[in-house]
Each structure stands twice: as C-alpha cells, then as structure tokens.
C-alpha cells in the first residue's frame, strides 16, 4: 500500500482528467485564495535544512537542544510515561476544562504553595493547548467579556504570534516601549512613560520572565514600580509565562513577578506553557488562569471559559497533561524535574558566557555584556539585518532577521565557530 506523503501532494505533475470531466473542473471555489506568506521562523529552518555546509547552525529554533545539539527528552518525563503506561488508564474524554490533577498543580506551580488565591478558590485554571491555546482562550475571553476596552498593549517587541492571536480574537493591538536597542537592554523609563499614558482598563501584556524575543527582563525593583504604575492606571494585566524555570533555573524566582502582582492586588489573567520547561512541545500542555474577586465569580468565569472552549476543540488532549501532572504531583519526580530544568537553564547560561569569552578571544572590541545579562532561550544580539544576512550567507548561521538567536542551538562544539562568524560581521 503506497503511502501518499503530504509533500507529494504539492510537488507532483497535474494529471489531465478525461475530457468529459474537464468542464466541471474549470472553476474552483478557491481561485481567489492567495498564497499565505511564509512563516518567518519556519523559513529559517527550511533554509537551514537545504544548506550543505557541515558547519551550519540553526539558531532560529525555539526548542531546547542538549550539548550535542539534539532534542532532549527529560528523564522525569520518561519516568512519568512509564508510570502512566503501567496504570492502564482509559481514554475517556477529559472535562472541557481539562485534567483536574493537572490544572490544580499548574496553578500551584505559578502562584506558589499556600497561595491565598488558590486557598480561597478565587482562581479558575483551565487546561489549554500549550501557550498558544492559552493565549487564544484568554484573548477570546477578554474579547467577549472585557467590553470596557478593546486594546491590548504589547511590549515592543513581543513574540510574533501575540499580535495575530489577539487580532483574530477581535482585540486591537498597541505597544509600549520595552527594548532599548542602544543598550540591548530594558528601556525602563521609556516603558514607564508609555505605560503612564495607557487608557484605563486596557489590557497590558507582560512577559513573566525570559522575555521573547529579547531575553531582557525587568529587575525586581523595576517590576515593583511597574506594578504600582499599572495599578494607578487601572490596567488589566495579562501575564505570559512560557519559560518558568527555564530563565534563571529556579521556578520560584521566575514566577516572582506574577506572584508579586497578585500580592499587590492585581487580579491578573495568566498563560502558562510546559512546552519548554518540561520539553513537552508537541504534547501541547498549557494552562490559562483568571484570578477573580472570589470563588463565586470564579465559578461564573469557569462556566464561560467552557462555553468558549467547546466550539474550538471540545476538550483538551490527555497525554501531555497526564505527564505534567504526574511530575508535578510525585515528590521525587518533581525534585528530579527541578534539577533538570536547572540543568537546561544552566547550559544556556554557560553558552552565553562562552560566547562572550570567545568573542573576546577573537579580538572583538564590541560590548557583548548584554549577551550575558539577557536571560532565557533567546538573545537579541544587536546584529543588524545586513550583518545577519552575511552571517547566514558566509557562515551558514541561521537566525531571524531581527538579530535574535536561540541560545539553545549553541553548543560547546560550535560556540567558537559562532563567535568567529559574529566577530567577522561586526568588526
């Protein structure tokens, strides 16, 4: 039985149908459908694949790689999978809001043990299709129920997919200053200035840690001022936390901003992803939380979230949530997980240090401190588009035009070569 691979559908020659049928074939419903523009990040990976240079590097990929450049399946994940397999569970539909063992643990991970919000039952946390699914449910929820304001303020820049998600949900996108290209750091004053002008009740998106794409995070004192200002402006805070644990290596430290805001009385909405910190990318594990006034309101909000979810996919997939729940709820697996997350974050931090050391060794006189100061998977190198183009053409180093590199694609084996290339295009 010959299998038709999807790629063959688009590349094989069109076979002419019998004459009698041709008249029906004349027109198509889809003649006016334009070819969609290629995804900028996928395009990078496609080009990388075609390159025959043995020294090529893919620094576009937003997925962790080990020091051999291979995908890394966490040991605690394998153990959890073995435990689950032994249980011989059924495959009955989950509730619309997902696996209870997962959602409870998910909220606890973000908000901390003994958090007042969880104890009083004033949060509703639903299982979502990873971070994207969570943002989308959140956007739909705000679009339907947050009728006082239509605007969502994103940091400049933000994850490329934030804008189309909110737009498709019917919200309007605006921006506040965030990244300072001069310092490759946080433009704190610029951010405060812009935030102070945001109209009341607007939604403000904050990256909880490991800002994507810049890797630039506010310091705690800066977070405190932002929290204060946001409260003064009466803004609705939407936290996107896709890298808890992955940024500093410490899950509590990475959730500090989220917990601080809640402590200060902000009833936030929060998206969480377990794609990176548990390496569960393709299993699509995420959570969406609304911190409400009280338990009664949480029940009402929950009922409406279910109404939003049902016509999209009915109920979420079990496999990844079951793995995550097992890890989060089994003490020795949890401990092992913390160690592995710490390990991944540490490798990234080490690569940052090695890259800077190698650049210095190459003789670069540029200031590369930001490579070490930035945090998380991504680094905004400060490279200009022309320099990026050269780096790709002459060294086969693939990255996005904005100068962003995924540190996860850097290994002790290729960091020297990368430094050579970056130095060559920036000296």
Instruction: For residue 289, give the nearest of 315, 265, 270, 272 by alpha carbon.
Output: 270
Q: Which of residues 227-266 bind other proteins (CB under 8 A)?
A: 236
| Strand 123-129 to 179-180 pairing | unpaired
Shortest Cβ 411–other proteins spacing (Å): 17
Between residues 65 and 352, which has the closer beta carbon with respect to other proteins? 65
Pick the stretch among 132-140, 180-188, 378-386, 389-397 that binds other proteins (CB under 8 A). 132-140
Binding residue (CB under 8 A) for other proteins from 54, 90, 113, 265: 90
384 belongs to the catalytic site:
no
Q: Is 7 one of the binding residues for other proteins (CB under 8 A)?
A: yes
Q: Classify residue 399 by burial, with Cβ atoms within 10 Å: 0-12, 13-18, 19+.
A: buried
- Give start and end residues of each alpha helix (H) in 12-97: 19-25, 40-50, 75-87
Q: Is 172 one of the binding residues for other proteins (CB under 8 A)?
A: no
Q: Rounded CA gap, 366 and 66, in Å?
A: 28
**Could you write out the DSSP letters of every residue in 218-254?**
--HHHHHHHHHHHHHTTPEEEEEES-TTTTTS-HHHH
Q: Is 19 one of the binding residues for other proteins (CB under 8 A)?
A: no
Between residues 71 and 413, which has the closer beta carbon with respect to other proteins? 71
Q: Which of residues 29-58 bind other proteins (CB under 8 A)?
A: 29-36, 39, 42
30 belongs to the catalytic site:
no
Contact 132, 166 (CB under 8 A): no
Between residues 190 and 343, which has the closer beta carbon with respect to other proteins? 343
Binding residue (CB under 8 A) for other proteins from 79, 207, 211, 284: 284
Q: Classify residue 68 by burial, with Cβ atoms within 10 Å: 0-12, 13-18, 19+.
A: exposed
Q: Is 307 one of the binding residues for other proteins (CB under 8 A)?
A: yes
Q: What DSSP state is assigned to residue 249?
A: S
Q: Which of residues 177-196 bind other proteins (CB under 8 A)?
A: none
Residue tagged active-site, from 56, 240, 254, 337? 240
φ and ψ of 216, to 5 deg: -95, 120
Residue tagged active-site, from 187, 217, 254, 276? 276
Q: Is 272 one of the binding residues for other proteins (CB under 8 A)?
A: no
Between residues 22 and 55, which has the closer beta carbon with respect to other proteins? 22
Displacement of CA 372 from its chain's centroid (Å): 21
Q: Which of residues 145-164 bind other proteins (CB under 8 A)?
A: 145-146, 148, 161, 164
Instruction: For residue 327, give the nearest of 280, 377, 376, 271 by alpha carbon.
Output: 280
Q: Is 335 one of the binding residues for other proteins (CB under 8 A)?
A: no
Which residues are catalytically annotated?
159, 240, 276
């Amino acid at each position: 039985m010959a299998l038709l691979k999807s790629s063959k559908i688009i590349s094989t020659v069109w076979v002419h149908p019998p004459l009698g049928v041709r008249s029906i074939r004349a027109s198509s419903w889809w003649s006016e459908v334009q070819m969609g523009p290629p995804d900028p990040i996928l395009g990078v990976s496609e080009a990388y694949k075609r390159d025959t240079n043995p020294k090529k590097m893919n620094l576009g990929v937003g997925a962790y790689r080990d020091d051999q450049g291979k995908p890394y399946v966490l040991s605690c994940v394998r153990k959890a999978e073995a435990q689950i397999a032994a249980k011989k569970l059924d495959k009955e539909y989950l509730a619309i809001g997902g696996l209870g063992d997962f959602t409870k643990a998910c909220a606890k991970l973000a908000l901390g043990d003994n958090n007042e919000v969880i104890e009083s039952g004033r949060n509703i946390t639903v299982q979502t299709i990873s971070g994207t699914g969570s943002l989308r449910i959140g956007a739909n929820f705000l679009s339907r129920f947050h009728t006082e304001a239509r605007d969502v303020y994103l940091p400049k820049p933000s994850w490329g997919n934030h804008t189309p998600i909110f737009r498709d949900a019917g919200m309007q996108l605006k921006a506040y200053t965030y990244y300072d290209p001069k310092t490759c750091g946080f433009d704190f004053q610029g951010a405060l200035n812009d935030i102070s002008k945001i109209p009341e009740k607007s939604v403000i998106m904050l990256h909880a840690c490991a800002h994507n794409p810049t890797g630039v995070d506010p310091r705690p004192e800066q977070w405190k001022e932002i929290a204060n200002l946001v409260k003064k402006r009466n803004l609705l805070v939407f936290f996107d936390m896709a890298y808890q644990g992955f940024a500093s290596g410490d899950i509590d430290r990475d959730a500090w901003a989220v917990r601080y805001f809640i402590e200060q009385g902000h009833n936030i909405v929060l998206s969480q992803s377990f794609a990176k910190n548990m390496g569960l990318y393709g299993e699509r594990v995420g959570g969406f939380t609304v911190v409400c006034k009280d338990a009664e309101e949480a029940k009402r909000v929950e009922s409406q979230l279910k109404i939003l979810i049902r016509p999209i996919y009915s109920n979420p997939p079990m496999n990844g949530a079951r793995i995550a729940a097992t890890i989060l709820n089994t003490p020795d697996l949890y401990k092992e997980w913390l160690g592995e997350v710490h390990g991944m974050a540490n490798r990234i931090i080490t690569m940052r240090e090695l890259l800077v050391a190698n650049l210095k060794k190459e003789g670069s006189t540029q200031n590369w401190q930001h490579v070490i100061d930035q945090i998380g998977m991504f680094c905004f190198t400060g490279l200009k588009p022309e320099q990026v183009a050269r780096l790709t053409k002459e060294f086969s180093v693939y990255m996005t035009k904005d100068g962003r590199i995924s540190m996860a694609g850097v290994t002790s084996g290729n960091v020297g070569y990368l430094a050579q290339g970056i130095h060559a295009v920036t000296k």
